Structure 1
Amino acid sequence: MKYLLAVSCAIICFSGYSQLIKPGQWQGEIHYSDASIPFTFEVGYPTDEVPEITLINGKERRVISNSTIEGDSISIPLDPFDVEIRAKFSAMDMRGNYLKHYRNASRSFSAAFGKPRMMKKSVRPSPVIEERWAITFSPSSSGMSRGVGLFKQKGNVVSGTIMTEVSDYRYFEGILDGDSIKLSCFDGAHAFGFYGKWSPDAGWAGMMIYDDGYAEPWTATYDKEAELKDPFEMVEVEPGKEKPYYDLLGAGEGKDAIDPLKYDGQVLIIQLFGTWCPNSHDQTTYLVNWYEKNKARDVAILASSFEANYSQEYGLERLDDYKEMNGIPYDMVLGGRLSKTGAAMPFPFMKRIEAFPTLVILDKQGYVRYVHSYFNGPATGEYYQAFDRRFNEIVDQLLAE
């Protein structure tokens, strides 16, 4: 009898048994060959034994409620991107991989319970920083580009975003450590690091880390007047002249994927985007909410996707998943492979688009009237609100014509 009880206990204890991850704050890290990007997440159990993972970046809280645990292993799908974290865990740490399926790429991942995002090491006092920076990326190269930093400081904690003319870098969070600034962002699709030092003579200088083996230097000065080009003004369009080639907009699906007659007499908003792109997701969220409020008017949205890990089978599957995850009520088609040149091919007046996402707005006669070349998402605050006002003004104007 004692033997049978022992066997029964063993079956109960070990057959299909899964541990629980310790609830509370964790510091995660994505490891590149020459740098690691720290971020913060919380583990909670609001309803059952399935952990709820919350990614924390500044003001943003991104909740993941569909993780799965088997034994001492966890899989964290970072929807709506085709990305996940797979790791083994113990009471105080995790070890595993950060998998970008859309690029067939893998990076090492680790996490430690109770550890802060970043730790101050210097005993020197941190400077009080200004809220607006004029940033130059790759200042000594032909690929130089501009950015505008929008930051808030509370003690030695800094949060904010960096706007560029290929869209914003979303929500950063980090610290001032003596004369150094250390910021990071992990939104599921991207793990960015923004590191630099202050010099009274030269201002700020440092490195922006995008991915394994992909980084660039930057310099910055405080500038209350720093601005970028207006995304509505970067491409000039002559009214009544240009119509899109719809067969190219849906080229990833083959001939006749789009019936242009469907949009006759409507203001049509065409979104050029990618399911892999966080800025595209920010814009998609905006468009879904906007369309729900405006669908009774003569408006339509057509989204054309350009995918990194391209095949027709993969692209169509990604579109179906993306549409379901985001509750998208408007038309979506597969444009083709990720390419700024390829995305511009349906529009003969453009050689390439500047960024994903890009919006092309058509009047009721089917002519292109406006191109919006990059997106200032919710992390940019007043710039996001300015986009909303201008976008609605344009649609109202075209509907009234």
Structure 2
Amino acid sequence: MIKKYGLLGLCMAFSLYTSAQLNVKQGHWHASLQRKDGHHLPFEMDIQQKNGITTCYILNSTERIKTEDPVYSGDSVLIKMPVFESYFKIKIINKDSLNGIWVTKGESKDIILPFAASAGEGRFPYRKTNNPKQVQGKWSIEFTRANKTKRPAIGEIVQKGSSLSGSVLTPAGDYRYLDGVVSGDSLFLSTFDGSHALLLTAKIKGDSLSGYFYAGQSGLETWTAVKKADVVLTPAVTAIKEGSDGKLDFTFKDLKGKSVSLQDERFKDKVVILQLMGSWCPNCMDETAFLSKYYLKNKDRGVEIIALAYELSTDEERSKKSLQKFQTQFNVQYTILNTGATAGDPQRTEKTLPQLTAIKVFPTTIILDKNGKISDINTAFYGPGAGDYHLKYKENFEKKINNLLDQKL
């Protein structure tokens, strides 16, 4: 879950069919997006060839993502991400080198960053040592924005030798699969998923860290951290408005243009899960993957799920295409509705769910009991990159649903 303004991101995979234009080395590649301030946002690719087909994956710790089929135009290759309005336009310089641009669509204009990749290199250069500094564990983090306001977070770091993995959790979601190294007295972590494009650097001083956080095209914050095993976060709050009866009432169009109402017969006397999401949102991607599998296993038990989408644009056709990518990628069998309100609209709650206080983060999950009354509003979804936090979320989610299913009308 991230705030609409959130971050640009990163987790991506490439699928390239071999041709005269694609004569490149197999194996690991170092790739990066280049910011105007001179800093690079690094990630790693793995390019493999089999049966005349070249397939390239973007690697973030244990995650591997594959792109759509490439489209060739002259000496360039257009490669779209499987989700998000995001693509690469690449030129093959030689078998060891690629360059081009990465493009992601924003609310009103495209965001473009130069891209480059070279064969045979890892995500980060680092100095090998037999005794790397130890940073494994849980960290209490404080980020400081450019305007000097501060925001809390939790760092969950796993270390094997000099290699690092883990995630950063905020009240608005997690930074998914971070991947990095310890080198000398410094720490480096990054991720890329087609939306998130993030880099954290820090100096290590015993049980404290201090450094910089680079996000997307221009985001820059400082951050400090101290080790703290019992650190907790206070989640954002969306609640039932005072005076409301705890019931919602809406009608929006699905991806086929058909009007769907919460009052329709198919939702009557069932436990209904409302997923407030957007196809631009990396944490929504993780929640969609989870909910899609959950629905397929539990739909015959009296559970329904409705995704309410808050997109970047009021352009209905653009939103539909982007949401269909989510639907296809994760085999979503439950209902997806486009609310028509944008994620950045300050009136998005009043226009769509006026019975609630402000929608603050995406995704937000609302659970309705069999009588259609709100039983729970959760703003703290954490994905699989967050490790034990994700497992705990799933356990609590399933317990809540099971308890509601056991209740009699």
Q: TM-score, normalised by structure 2?
A: 0.85
**1:236-263 deviation digits (Å, cap 9, x = unpaired):** 558992222314x659999954352231
Residue 212 of structure 2 corresponds to: 207
- In the alignment, structure 2 segments of 5+ residues that lack a partner are 1-18
CA distance 1:75–1:253, shift in 2 (3 Å):
closer
More strand by share: 2
Residue 203 of structure 2 corresponds to: 197
- In the alignment, structure 1 segments of 5+ residues that lack a partner are 1-15
Would you say the 8 A contact 2:127–2:183 is kept in 1?
yes
Distance 1:349 1:136 in 2: 34
Q: Write out aligned runs for 1:128-277 (5 A).
A: 128-138=134-144, 143-200=149-206, 203-229=208-234, 234-237=237-240, 241-247=245-251, 256-258=259-261, 260-262=263-265, 263-277=267-281
Which of the residues 322, 332, 356 maps onto 1:350?
Answer: 356
Would you say the 8 A contact 2:26–2:46 is kept in 1?
yes
More helix by share: 1
| Percentage of pairs with the same residue | 26
Answer with 343-352 or 376-385: which moved more.
Answer: 343-352
Higher relative contact order (CA 8 A, sep 6+): 2
Deviation at 1:130, TM superposition (A): 3.4
- The letter for the 2-side match of 1:101 is K
**1:200-250 deviation digits (Å, cap 9, x = unpaired):** 5x921111111122121111000011122367xx44558992222314x65
Distance 2:52 2:216 in 1: 36
Residue 76 of structure 1 corresponds to: 79
Answer with 162-171 or 101-110: which moved more.
Answer: 101-110
Asked if residue 67 in structure 1 is aligned to residue 73 in structure 2, the reply is: no
CA distance 1:324–1:60, shift in 2 (3 Å):
closer
Answer with 276-285 or 68-77: which moved more.
Answer: 68-77
CA distance 1:19–1:373, shift in 2 (3 Å):
closer
Deviation at 1:74, TM superposition (A): 2.4
- The letter for the 2-side match of 1:155 is G
Which of the residues 279, 282, 291 maps onto 2:283?
Answer: 279
Distance 1:148 1:75 in 2: 37
Distance 1:321 1:85 in 2: 17
Residue 385 of structure 1 corresponds to: 391
CA distance 1:295–1:148, shift in 2 (3 Å):
same
State the number of aligned residues: 381
Residue 7 of structure 2 corresponds to: none
Deviation at 1:46, TM superposition (A): 2.9
Distance 2:222 2:130 in 1: 25
Distance 1:122 1:154 in 2: 13
Residue 305 of structure 1 corresponds to: 309
Q: Secondary structure at the match of 2:176?
A: coil
Distance 1:287 1:384 in 2: 13
Residue 292 of structure 1 corresponds to: 296
- Provide the aligned C-alpha RMSD in A: 2.8
